[in-house]
Structure 1
Amino acid sequence: MQAIVMTGIGGPEVLVAQDVATPHPGVGELVIRAEAIPVLFPETKLRSGEFPMPVEPPVVFGFQAAGVVVEIGDEVDATLLGRRVTVATAGFGSYAEFVCAPASSVTMIPEDLSSADAAAVLMDGSVALPLLATAALTGSETVLIEAAATGVGSALTQLAREFGAARVIATAGGPEKSMRAKALGADEVIDHTAPDWPTRLRETLDGTTLDVVFDSIGGTTARDLLAAMTPVRGRILSYGWLSGAPAQISAMDLLPHGLTLTACAGPDWLAEVSRSGTAALERATAGTLTPRIDSVLSLDEAAKAHRLIEQRSPIGKIVLRP
């Protein structure tokens, strides 16, 4: 079968199309014939070496795929054969025509949802839903959603008001993405590519404060937002680090105004994300969470997809199609 092999740590050029052996499932595993493979932002960090890979290259790359179950291993429900599902691998192996994954990672794709849409919305929706549940919005709060035009931020922007946000302020990178964030439901949008954007935020707030920050940028910018947050009730949910580093905030930064920071990470958090997959796909089917696909590329264009993501040019998910 054709697959994309990560030949080493480095730039997109290390993702090379090769013929490899078709996988077969072990105990508790299944194999799908892949129909759609989402290219995920964290995957670019793994490929570049910023995040540690679970195995040493060379290895078939990729974490998620959607397709049809064609083979099952022992101790797997036989009724899954022939069903359309999404799967998450054990850390590698999804950029391929056939993908082996734990049966426990399966999320059933609703009949009225395409495999491409399921692949595009799964990660964003399944992260956004537990973030919103953790935020525990009450209907009166002002929230800030960073990187709101794409990825998890786009799902948060679509769902925030339903979950209790009274005012949604968003950040986005550039005019086109700012327009997209507005269309998704943001009341105001600030361009976070401007170095003084935290100052612009305070001007936009005009004397009011932020109750909740969904922080996907991290780095030193997170500390700059603290002065704009509501004392005692203000809370930051830290779930990403587009800047290249987690939020650079200490307890001493939070204590003077009684603020809180929740780290949305770790095995227990990821288990909650996994449990939210079905709800995310159901919302996509119902129309309350719209899949955002920027482009569909052939499997052998995986390196191109990574280049586009690192240029921050896509407005929506890039999906690979074997």
Structure 2
Amino acid sequence: MKAIVMTGIGAPEVLVVQDVAAPQPGPGELVIRTEAIPVLFPETKLRSGEFPVPVEPPLVFGFQAAGVVTEVGADVDATWVGRRVAVDTAGFGSYAEFVSAPAASATPLPTGLSSVDAAAVLMNGSVALPLLETAALAGNETVLIEAAATGVGSSLTQLAKEFGAARVIATAGGPEKCARALELGADEVIDHNAQDWPIRLREILDGATVDVVFDSIGGTSALDLLDAITPLRGRMLSYGWLSGAPAQVSAMDLITRGLTLVGCAGPDWLAGVARSRAAVLDRAAAGTLAPLVDSVLPLEEAATAHRRIEERSPLGKIVLRP
């Protein structure tokens, strides 16, 4: 079968099309014939070496895929065969014509939801729902959503008011993405490509404060935001670091302001993300959460997809199709 093999750590060019043996399902696993493979931002960090790779290359790359079950392993219900599902791999293997994955990760696709749309919405929505549930919005609060036009931020922006946000302030990178954030439901948008964007936030607030920050940028900007957060009940949910580093915030920074930082990571957090997959796909099928697809590329163009993501140019998910 055709697959994208990560031949080493480095630039997008380390992703190479090769002929490899088709996977066989082990105990507790199933194999799908892939129809759509989302290209995820964290995958670019793994390929570049910024995040540790779970297995030394060369390896078939990729974390998620959607398609049709063709085989099941021992202890897996045979009725899975022929069903349309989305799966998470054990850490690699999805950039391929056939993918083996734990059966426990398989989520059936609702009738009427395409594989491309399922692939586009799955990661974004399944992280956004637990974030909103953890935020426990009260219905009268102002929230700040960073990187609101794409990725997890785009799902947060679509859903925030349904979950109790009264006012949604967003950040996005560049005029086109700022316009997209407004389309998705933000009330005001700040271009976070400007280094002084936290100052612009305080100008927009005009003496008011933000109750909840959904922090995907991290780095030093997280510290710059603390004085704009409501004392005593304000909270920052930290789930990413687009800046290249997690939020540079100390316990003393939080204690002296009476603020809470919630780290949205680790096994328990990921279990909650997994539990939300079915709800996300149901929302996409019902039209209450839009799958944002930037483009669909042939599997062979995985390196091009990675390059575009690193340039921060897509306005939605890039999906590979075998």
Following superposition, the deviation at residue 77 of structure 1 comes to 1.1
Q: Distance in 2 between matches of 1:309 and 1:257?
A: 36
Aligned to 1:321: 321
1:157-306 correspondence runs (5 A): 157-306=157-306
Could you say what secondary structure the match of 1:257 adopts? coil
Q: Distance in 2 between matches of 1:249 and 1:2?
A: 45
Q: What's the offset of the Cα at 1:292?
A: 0.1
Partners of 1:167 and 1:206 in 2: how far apart?
Answer: 14
Distance in 2, Cα, partners of 1:285 & 1:99: 24
| Residue 146 (structure 1) aligned with residue 146 (structure 2) | yes
Q: Give the structure 1 partner of residue 18 of structure 2.
A: 18
Aligned to 1:223, what secondary structure does the other structure show?
helix
1:162-208 CA deviation, whole Å, 9 max, x = no partner?
00000000000000000000000000000000011000000000110
Counterpart check, 1:3 vs 2:19: no
Amino acid at match of 2:38: P
Q: Could you tell me how far apart the structure 2 residues matched to 1:197 and 1:285 are?
A: 36
Tell me the residue number matched to 1:155.
155
- 2:37 aligned counterpart, secondary structure: strand
Structure 1: gaps (5+ residues)? none
Partner of 1:81: 81
TM-superposed deviation, 1:79: 1.0
Residue matched to 2:307: 307
Sequence identity, in percent? 79
Match of 1:100 in 2: 100
Q: Which runs of 4+ in 1 moved over 6 A?
A: none
* Distance across 1 between alignment mates of 2:138 and 2:78: 44
Within 2, Cα distance between the matches of 1:194 and 1:307? 23
Residue 78 of structure 1 and its aligned partner are, at CA, apart by: 1.0
Using the size of structure 1 for normalisation, the TM-score is 1.00
Aligned AA for 1:227? D
Q: Partners in 2 of 1:171 and 1:77 — Cα distance? A: 45
Q: Distance in 1 between matches of 2:161 and 2:288?
A: 12
Matched, 1:52 2:52: yes
Q: Distance in 2 between matches of 1:141 and 1:288?
A: 22
**Aligned-CA RMSD value:** 0.4
For residue 226 of structure 1, give the secondary structure of its aligned residue in structure 2: helix
Whole-Å separation in 2 of the counterparts to 1:263 and 1:199: 25
In 2, the alpha carbon distance for the partners of 1:203 and 1:141 equals 18
- Between the aligned partners of 2:250 and 2:269, the Cα distance in structure 1 is 21
Letter aligned with residue 109 of structure 2: I
Letter in 2 for 1:198: P
Length, aligned pairs only: 322
| SS of aligned partner of 1:225 | helix
Tell me how far apart the structure 2 counterparts of residues 205 and 106 of structure 1 sit (CA, whole Å): 44
Amino acid at match of 2:105: S
Q: CA deviation at 1:256?
A: 1.2
